[in-house]
């Protein structure tokens, strides 16, 4: 709407017409959004109802597919006994600690590589060869070195999640407008100030994209590590349930993990919008 208000050069009549058109356009768009949102909720509900009906129809055994209501019941009782919170807390702790270490370390390494030629020479082939590798294959080696505890789970998360952060930071800094850097230098910025006040903020959109790639990886890997090593945590609990042929437990795990994944990714989008409030990308979306 603000765009239309700013029409001092138009005559009054034209401004009114423009405002009406914009309002109508906004109304149509809002209607479309409501329609899409409604249809979205509807199709998710439809999926859940279909699940419930199919599970109860007797075409599949409750072992193959327990009813959705039974799964919800299971989650509820796990929440009451506190199992759910313990498992959830541990998984989040492992995934998010690994993610934060990978984020800080990845940005630091990317920034160092962009500034120092020797660091860059050394890490460049390691990053470009390591990025496409399935690093989860190294899990048994990390277990061999660090044992079956949280340290090894967090380490494999860091090892997997750091690559997209480093490459995004490098690419982001390389793409910073050179005129921006020249003018900052001209105004007497030191190399340190240049990095903190110009390069990193200007590269922030790409760095955040790297973090948005790294976050789901951290979650996937944390759950795989828990499944492979057993014990508590959402992945470990699912594996135990699967060993005891407790299919309600397995499906409860999927629903819980799906909700956690959805919430984390949405939170990350909000953080992005917040941090980039100054960036034109955010303005376009409103």
Instruction: Name the minimum Å distance from CB 273 to other proteins.
Output: 17
- Pinpoint the alpha helices (H) of the chain: 2-5, 12-56, 68-81, 83-115, 117-130, 139-146, 150-174, 178-186, 191-193, 200-229, 234-243, 247-275, 280-285
| Sign (positive or negative) of CA dihedral 243, 246, 249, 253 | positive
In terms of CB distance, is 16 or 265 closer to other proteins?
265
Q: C-alpha angle 114/118/124, rounded to 5°?
A: 65
Instruction: Name the minimum Å distance from CB 217 to other proteins.
Output: 9
Instruction: Name the minimum Å distance from CB 236 to other proteins.
Output: 11
Q: State the Cα–Cα distance between residues 151 and 157, nearest whole angstrom.
A: 10
Q: Name the phi and psi angles at 114, rounded to 5.
A: -75, -20
Residue with tokens 């044992």: 147
Instruction: Name the minimum Å distance from CB 186 to other proteins.
Output: 34
In terms of CB distance, is 198 or 225 closer to other proteins?
225
In terms of CB distance, is 184 or 213 closer to other proteins?
213
DSSP tally for the chain: helices H, then strands E: 13, 0
In terms of CB distance, is 122 or 182 closer to other proteins?
122
Phi-psi region of 10 (alpha: psi -120 to 50; beta: other; left: phi over 0): beta
In terms of CB distance, is 22 or 213 closer to other proteins?
213
For 158, the enclosing helix (H) or strand (E) is helix 150-174
In terms of CB distance, is 19 or 86 closer to other proteins?
86
Nearest Cα residue to 163 out of 202, 198, 134: 134
- C-beta separation of 234 from 223 below 8 A: yes
Name the residues that contact other proteins, by CB under 8 A. 35-36, 39-44, 46-47, 63-64, 121-126, 129, 132-141, 143-145, 216, 219-221, 223-224, 227-228, 234-235, 238-239, 241-242, 245, 247, 250-251, 253-254, 257-258, 261-262, 264-265
Q: State the Cα–Cα distance between residues 48 and 67, nearest whole angstrom.
A: 10
Instruction: Name the minimum Å distance from CB 222 to other proteins.
Output: 8
In terms of CB distance, is 200 or 252 closer to other proteins?
252
Three-class SS state of 125 = helix
Instruction: Name the minimum Å distance from CB 158 to other proteins.
Output: 16
Enter the tokens of residue 72. 């919800």
Instruction: Name the minimum Å distance from CB 264 to other proteins.
Output: 7
């Amino acid at each position: 709407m603000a765009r239309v208000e700013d029409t001092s050069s138009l005559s009054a009549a034209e401004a009114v017409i423009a405002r009406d058109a914009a309002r109508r356009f906004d109304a149509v768009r809002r209607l479309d959004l409501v329609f899409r949102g409604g249809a979205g909720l509807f199709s998710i509900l439809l999926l859940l109802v279909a699940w419930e009906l199919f599970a109860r129809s007797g075409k599949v055994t409750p072992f193959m597919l327990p009813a959705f209501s039974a799964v919800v019941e299971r989650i509820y009782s796990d929440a009451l006994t506190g199992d759910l919170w313990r498992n959830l807390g541990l998984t989040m702790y492992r995934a998010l600690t690994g993610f934060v270490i990978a984020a800080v370390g990845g940005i630091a390494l990317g920034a160092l590589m962009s500034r120092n030629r020797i660091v860059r020479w050394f890490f460049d082939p390691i990053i470009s060869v390591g990025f496409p590798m399935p690093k989860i294959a190294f899990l048994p080696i990390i277990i061999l070195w660090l044992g079956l505890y949280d340290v090894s789970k967090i380490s494999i998360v860091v090892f997997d999640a750091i690559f997209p952060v480093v490459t995004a930071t490098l690419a982001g800094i390389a793409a910073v407008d050179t005129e921006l850097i020249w003018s900052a230098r001209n105004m007497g910025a030191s190399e340190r100030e240049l990095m903190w006040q110009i390069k990193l903020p200007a590269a922030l959109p790409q760095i955040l994209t790297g973090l948005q790639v790294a976050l789901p990886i951290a979650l996937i890997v944390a759950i795989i590590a828990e499944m492979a090593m057993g014990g508590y945590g959402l992945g470990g609990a699912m594996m135990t349930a699967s060993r005891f042929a407790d299919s309600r437990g397995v499906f409860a795990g999927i629903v819980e993990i799906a909700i956690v994944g959805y919430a984390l990714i949405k939170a990350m989008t909000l953080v992005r919008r917040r941090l980039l409030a100054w960036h034109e990308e955010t303005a376009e979306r409103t």
